[in-house]
Amino acid sequence: MFHYLTLAALLFSIGLFGVITRRNTIGILMSLELMFNAVNINFVTFNRYIMTDGLTGQIFAIFIVVVAAAEATVGLAIVLLVYRNWRGIDSDNYAVMKW
């Protein structure tokens, strides 16, 4: 169990690093997917080793996958919209949303 949790923690850190350092919005979304996967590994690991009566952890992970898919869909639509208006998808382009 220690190994799985460590793997998830390392993957989460890698995703966090990507989210902080990427300029490209698609790169940020990809790093977010890595973080979602790390969280899912944690859920499934705890379901396997700690709470084996029922599959609550796996069902929660399924919901996370669905919500992540919805997030990726809307996020990429916004990326395309930003690209159409500013000819670039760096996160600097979103500064115009500030007020």
Partner 1 sequence: MSQAADVSIVFWILSFVILVCGFLVVSLKNIFHCALCLVLCLTAVAGIYILLGAEFLAAAQVLIYVGAVSVLMIFAVMLTSNLASHKIVQTNQNTMTAFFACLVFALGAVVLIGGTKVWRYATDVLPAENVLTIGKLLMTEFMLPFEVVSVLLLAAIIGAIVLAREEGS
Binders of partner 1 among residues 70 to 99 (CB under 8 A) are: 70-74, 76-81, 83, 88-89, 91
Closest CA to 79 of 13, 14, 22: 22
Any contact of residue 29 with partner 1 (CB under 8 A)? yes
Q: Give the side-chain half-sphere CA count within 13 A for 66.
A: 6
CB 45 within 8 A of CB 4: yes
Which residues are 90's β-sheet partners? 24
Any contact of residue 15 with partner 1 (CB under 8 A)? yes
Task: Provide the binding-site residues for partner 1, judged by CB under 8 A.
Answer: 1-7, 9-18, 20-24, 26-27, 29-31, 33-34, 37, 40-41, 44-45, 47-55, 58-59, 61-63, 65-74, 76-81, 83, 88-89, 91
